[in-house]
Structure 1
Amino acid sequence: MAKRRLVQRNTEAEAGLWGNAGLALLKGVAGWLTGSTALLADAFRSGAEAAQCGAAAIGVRGAKRLPRREAEPGGDDGAVQASNLVVALLTLVVGIEIGISAVRHTAEGLPAAPQWPALAVIAAAWAIKAAFFSVGGGRLETYALAVVLAGTAGAWLGGRLGQPSLLYLDSAAAFFVAVLVTLQGYRLIAAAMPGGKPA
């Protein structure tokens, strides 16, 4: 029973790793081509989630090498704890960098409106995540995608209607994603410390 549970967790973690990595690539390319800062920020968030799923997969593999009574992902393996801490620090740094980039983008002047394909990519990413794999994200995924969609759509609409104030919504959405990623990184660091509770 324990072995079967470990195999299932390993499968879920690997699905989350490759699925989030694919979404990060899709969002990153689309964000760059369409000029959506929010979509680029969400690409980095998906990349951080992929790294977290990768660390979870390492934890499961480490648990397979432990005796049955200790066979829990992330058990006492020092390498697993180290990988979890590295991923947590990486997530925190990514969140801070996204926030700095969003503020810098806003400070440079009136941003350009993102192109409409960004909206289609966000909706497609949401549908893919919901339909094919659910590892990583949860409510964080829902909040982030909802804000990214609203911010990108608002900025695109601002460009169409000639409303300059709406153009800042894209960068505002990127900053919101940065806050979410930074908080997640902080929670992961707390959980990775000895005696910490899972995030």
Structure 2
Amino acid sequence: MKKSLLKPLTFCFIILICVISLARISMPQTHEETSNAKANQTVVKKTAASFRPYQDPSDLRRPYNWRKPSERKPYPKIKRLENDITIRVSLKGNRVYILRNNRRVYTMLASGGLFKKGKSLTPTGTFKIQDNRGESFYNPNLNEGANNWTSWDKNDVYLFHSVPTKDNGQYNLKEAKKLGKQQGSHGCVRLSVPDSQWIMKNIKSGTKVIVKNN
């Protein structure tokens, strides 16, 4: 008799456990449980490095120095009739790359246009280095200037140039410290003083310029 009752009782007990388990699963989470679940989720925040198409070279100058070349090695030598050079700009990565036959030969610290509503003040796309270039300029509307400028826009609105200068010609140290770390310009691409001078003197007109967010 005991054996005959044992099996039904065991079966009922198992059914009861299953019902309780299902009820717990179907119950809505409390606010505390929901908060704990969210807290345990891993949030991956992208850094500037994650947007760069190339890993920084080992000889990139650290700490960053806007007064010196970005890399410790010499600049690449550009032949007078060479036509396989491309300049690649990574706006979110804060870098400019000198490419030869699509292979990187030099990395420069940079700061492009500020991002407003998810879009940079620097236009993206494919452009060309223009004939216009010079040692310095000053824009009274922006109360800002720069040295060693090279146009890559047919209307000469967008330029490669040094970190910005004030109305007295002195470098704006607050803005200069952004180089290689964050965006800060009104649309031009800022470079270190020597890097901007090298581009002005060595990159010929017609050189392709590719500007991307990454």
TM-score band w.r.t. shorter chain = under 0.3
> Max radius of gyration: which structure?
2
Indicate the structure with greater strand content. 2
Please report the TM-score for the alignment, with normalisation by the length of structure 1: 0.23
Q: Which one has a larger percent helix, Structure 1 or Structure 2?
A: 1
TM-score with structure 2 setting the length? 0.22
